[in-house]
Amino acid sequence: MNAPRTPAPSTATPWHARPPEDVLRELDADADGLSDSEAARRRARHGANVLPAAAGRSLWLRLAQQFDNVLIYALLAAGTVTLWLQHWIDASVIFGVVLVNAVIGFVQEGKAERALEAVRGMLARRALVLRRADGGAAERRDVDAAELVPGDLVLLASGNRVPADLRLLRTNNLRVDESALTGESVPVDKLAAAVAVDAPLAERAGMAYAGTVVTYGQARGVVVATGAATELGRIGTLVGGVAVLATPLARKLDQFGRRITAFILAASVLVFAFGYWVHGFDATELFLAVVGLAVAAIPEGLPAVVTIALAIGTQTMAARRAIVRRLPAVETLGSVTTICSDKTGTLTRNEMTAVALLLPWRTVEASGAGYAPEGGFTVAGAPLAAAAAPDLLALAHCGLLCNDAALTDREGVWTLAGDPTEGALLALALKAGFDSAHERAAWPRIDEVPFESERRYMATLHRDRAGGGLRLYVKGAPESVLTRCATAGDGRPLDAAAWEARTAHAAGAGQRLLALAVRELPAGPASIVPETVGELRLLGLVALIDPPRPEAIDAMARCRAGGIAVKMITGDHPATAAAIGERLGLRGAAALTGGAIDTLDAAGLRAALDATDVVARASPEHKLRLVAALQDGGRVVAMTGDGVNDAPALKRADIGVAMGGKGTDAAREAADIVLTDDNFATIVNAVHEGRRVYDNIKKSLLFTLPTNGGEAGVILLAVFLGLALPVTAAQILWVNMVTTVLLAIPLAFERAEPGSMRRPPRPPREPLVTRLLLARVLYVSVLMVAVTFTAFEWVLARGGTLEAARTAAVNMLVLGELVYLFNARHFVAHSLARDTLTDNRYALWAALALLALQALFTYAPPMQALFRTTGLDGATWALLWALALAKFFAVEAEKWLLRRCGVQRL
């Protein structure tokens, strides 16, 4: 045998378009299989039939990268300063926040590596091949699939996972489930004949691809690609090459951290220079004041609040059947502007269902979805009792007996063993009132002609136990069965043109059609001969679809109300995709196809997506381009899917959502969120939770920034005016610690704002700190500074000591922050209601705990010694509470003004 040429990868050589004999010749293979020595030489050239492992980062590098954040640098600097000041508790809090965030990020890393492992796991472990010893005869061998090489002859049978990309040489009723690779909702028929060069992946009948599953029949094929050169390997390469994008919140927090760090450093330098050169302050004392300013201004509690808010959202979503694999994904869902959803199994049930019965003299609509025998029948909207419809019963009886599938009720969940179209016919018969076990016993099968791709029909012969007569049932493709029918219904001659028109109309609506026919035979030889399958009486056609989930239709309406666009992306036929899209309320009359995508540039693709919501015949590369095009247009994209063909797009999207029940491992590992109920409606519920989480993070920011600004402003004003500091650095650290732990965190538990799913998503480019929020921050900061200085100067004016004045100033800061907590529970809505105190018990308990701690701070001797505080009299407390309440109502007045101006959120 000549030395084999190295075959090009399957993506480069159109093996599907070449006759089997040409493929064998190009691969230098023959019908006897490769010899052992030749297989070894090819394995050395092409490598093992496995997907390459990705080079991972070391654990230490992954851990170190968790600290690569400006805000983390600022926190580490603050922690170092507090250690230098020997304020051990506050330093522990700061370093604890940094450590918790690092650990969470470290644990959530490694998504790409796991995704590649999952794709690699889809390759078959064993393969049956034809091989021969050098000089010997060909023999069947069960080998490790990793040993396969181009040119190997592989034998396939029902239940096998295809071990490599094969060009089929011979088939026998072969059907292959390619749903994980192409999105086709039913197994596809395979033939050895060549197809057009430009045929999409889902229409290459002569190919069997690695990772797909044989559901029926047998075949022989030659390996044309192994490992990374397979279609599955190509997808694995796509997954490995897709960069993980930072979430919107991460990008905004990073930008915010850089800006606030730069501002704090600049302000600290300016304050030190002004105090030293203008007022001549002592350098050491001034340095401590600047340290206090920096520590006061740094929102060190913000990362902790963000983490807790995300963790709470994670728990809530888990209770709603959405498992979060990456913590920031919770918030990202709340900012989603576009959801790109796979069709099969996500928007639809991935369970074929009979939706219409085209009977000889009428059309009957069937309700229900999936394999559960639930639903009924109507004609032109009027209910129809199956028992009173002999034409319907005759059709259903044929579908029940000319059938090899089985349905099983397992704790209320109907599961199918067999072909999905046959499962739909079984469910139809059960809806019509038949008992499958009873009918099969009453009409035992005595002969059959199994479905073959060349015939495109199945026939079964049954004997009536009661009367002894024979009945032949036939089902199959309309074009095959109709030509064998002489009559229809009650025996009138078949009107072929009318039936062809009805068939074309249903097919144009994206429905799959099966024709069912019958022939009564006299008692005689119990076997089917070719002449028997003729002169049939047509019972009708059954229109089948993979129906939309009812809850998905409602979820679509919620998305539209919330300003979220939905794009359905599938590998299915354009007509089928358009029909499902129409049922879901999507714009799908002119579905965008994968072939059209290949002809469009980036701008053209964005324009096409603006004009339609349905994309059909989409390959993994197409899905990746679609997601990237939407992102380039400023959209925040969520991608849902369940197949290995969805994995690259799931990873590229801002938020990847995989199906946990029927989804593949590859999809689950590439995703950020996994739905345990495979339900599109769960995604919409998760979006609602994501909006709540983002709002609560923003409320925490709305609380933290002005309170920190007030603390820093007090020091800043004192230095610029040359006054004694109203608070010391140690006292500022105390205020930061107790308010961060007790006041900011309860905001993470807030309920969703009213109407959160009736407002459009926030603009993707909207900054974390908007102009209105900044105005609130400055307004409240000024109020904080004003009431604190008022209390400080009032105590000094009464002849109080500096320690007493500082004690009053610290308590004023804390009380001002306490009342502002209840202001911040609502962005614009007023807080003058009973539920402001009662519907967030964490805020109420935090307020009580804070008052207890301040009592200890003010009156406990150890605290007085540590922080240089002293007890306050009743008059001082009365002033402090009066100023706090005045500040509360001042903020409420500003919120009232915003409401008057029509502002709904900051």
What's the CA gap between 598 and 619, in Å, rounded? Answer: 11
What's the CA gap between 182 and 570, in Å, rounded? Answer: 8
189, 342, 572, 646: the catalytic one is 342
What's the CA gap between 437 and 235, in Å, rounded? Answer: 45
Q: What's the Rg (C-alpha) of the chain?
A: 36
**Six-digit token string for 94:** 């700061």
762-800 burial, b at 16+ Cβ within 10 Å, e below that, comes to: bebeeebbeeebeebbeebbebbbbbbbbbbebbbeeeb
Q: Which residues, including other chains, have CB under 8 Å from residue 277's CB and lie 6 or more apart?
A: none
286-306 burial, b at 16+ Cβ within 10 Å, e below that, comes to: bbbbbbbbbbbbbbbbbbbbb
Q: Render 530-591 in DSSP notation, one character per residue.
A: GGGS-SEEEEEEEEEE-PBPHHHHHHHHHHHHTT-EEEEE-SS-HHHHHHHHHHTT---TT-
CA 547 to chain centre: 21
Q: Which residues, including other chains, have CB under 8 Å from residue 241's CB and lie 6 or more apart?
A: none
Q: Which residues, including other chains, have CB under 8 Å from residue 72's CB and lie 6 or more apart?
A: 98, 101, 102, 303
Cβ atoms within 10 A of the Cβ of 905, count? 16
β-strand partners of 157: 218
Q: Which residues, including other chains, have CB under 8 Å from residue 749's CB and lie 6 or more apart?
A: 312, 696, 840, 842, 843
Beta strands in 627-722 (DSSP E): 637-641, 655-659, 673-675
What's the CA gap between 431 and 434, in Å, rounded? Answer: 7
What's the CA gap between 559 and 338, in Å, rounded? Answer: 9
What's the CA gap between 306 and 326, in Å, rounded? Answer: 14
Cβ atoms within 10 A of the Cβ of 427, count? 28
What's the CA gap between 707 and 740, in Å, rounded? Answer: 10
CA-to-CA dists, residue 422 to 201, 404, 419, 689, angstroms: 25, 7, 5, 40
CA 294 to chain centre: 41
- Work out the burial of residue 755: count CB atoms within 10 Å of its CB; fewer than 13 is exposed, 13-18 middle, 19 or more buried: exposed
CB 389 within 8 A of CB 503: no
Strand (E) or helix (H) holding 154: strand 153-157
What's the CA gap between 410 and 418, in Å, rounded? Answer: 16
Cα distance from N-terminal residue to C-terminal residue, the chain: 77
Cβ atoms within 10 A of the Cβ of 76, count? 15
What's the CA gap between 774 and 399, in Å, rounded? Answer: 68
Per DSSP bridges, beta strands 213-225 and 153-157 are: antiparallel
Please name the amino acid found at residue 559. Answer: C
Q: Is 342 a catalytic residue?
A: yes
Beta strands in 422-506 (DSSP E): 445-449, 457-463, 470-476, 485-488, 492-493
What's the CA gap between 9 and 229, in Å, rounded? Answer: 5
Per DSSP bridges, beta strands 565-569 and 338-342 are: parallel
CA 129 to chain centre: 39
- Work out the burial of residue 726: count CB atoms within 10 Å of its CB; fewer than 13 is exposed, 13-18 middle, 19 or more buried: buried
Q: Which residues are the active-site residues?
A: 342
